[in-house]
Amino acid sequence: MRSVSIHWRSLHRPGTDRCVLEAAASGARLVGRADYLAAAGAVRLDYRVACDRSWRTVEARVEGTLAGRSVAFDVARREGDLWAMNEARIAGVTGCLDLDLGFTPATNLLAIRRLDLSIGQAAAAPAAWLDVDAAALSVLPQRYERRSATAYWYAAPTVGYEALLEVDASGFVTRYPGLWEADPSS
């Protein structure tokens, strides 16, 4: 696998996100930086997410500033699909295979790659969802239905979101209606 990069602009608040998908010895890795303006102030978050050869999240690191305060989160999926954040086991997210970083569209790639759906197929893909504002990890029910070679119907009912996501050949979301859009000049 060769490295692939993408640059998004936020549609719901001022902001950008840059991400690179690269090969790693044990699978693949997403490395990126999200900069945006939240209600409480400016946010800059650097993130790294490692997955195994089957595209299941193994671990992640998120660090930066959130409205003037420093934050750092180490998230890991342990044996038995148990999750930990900053070394503390998190109850209630057992069984999730994917990590969803709520502030970036980058991690949708992991579920899209892992599910490897054919056109017309659908699957539930509940994720361990990192809410950096609340410093919490919880289950985010998600469902993907592949509609074409470059489009997935996506639903996350607990947050009231559903839309047709457009993706590129690598699996990065290029159009996340109302939230993110890839910058074609990048």
What is the enclosing helix (H) or strand (E) of 143?
A: strand 143-148
Confidence grade of residue 184 (pLDDT, cut at 50, 70, 90): confident
What is the spatial distance between Cα 23 and Cα 83, in angstroms, rounded to a whole number? 24
What is the spatial distance between Cα 46 and Cα 32, in angstroms, rounded to a whole number? 6
What is the spatial distance between Cα 38 and Cα 13, in angstroms, rounded to a whole number? 7
pLDDT tens per residue, range 29-87: 999 999 999 988 999 999 999 999 999 999 999 999 998 899 999 999 998 889 999 99
C-beta atoms surrounding 139 within 10 Å: 18
- Give the pLDDT of residue 5: 96
Pairwise pLDDT comparison (150 vs 186), residue with the higher score: 150
What is the spatial distance between Cα 48 and Cα 34, in angstroms, rounded to a whole number? 11
The alpha-carbon radius of gyration of the chain (Å, integer) is 15
- Give the pLDDT of residue 176: 97
Domain boundaries, the chain: 4-182
pTM of the model: 0.95
- Give the pLDDT of residue 80: 84
- Give the pLDDT of residue 74: 98
Secondary structure (DSSP) of 79-138? TTTEEEETTEEETT-TT--EEEETT-STTHHHHHHHH-PPTT-EEE--EEEEETTTTEEE
- Tell me phi and psi for residue 163, to 5 degrees: -170, 170
pLDDT tens per residue, range 75-131: 999 988 899 999 999 989 998 999 999 999 999 999 999 999 999 999 999 999 999
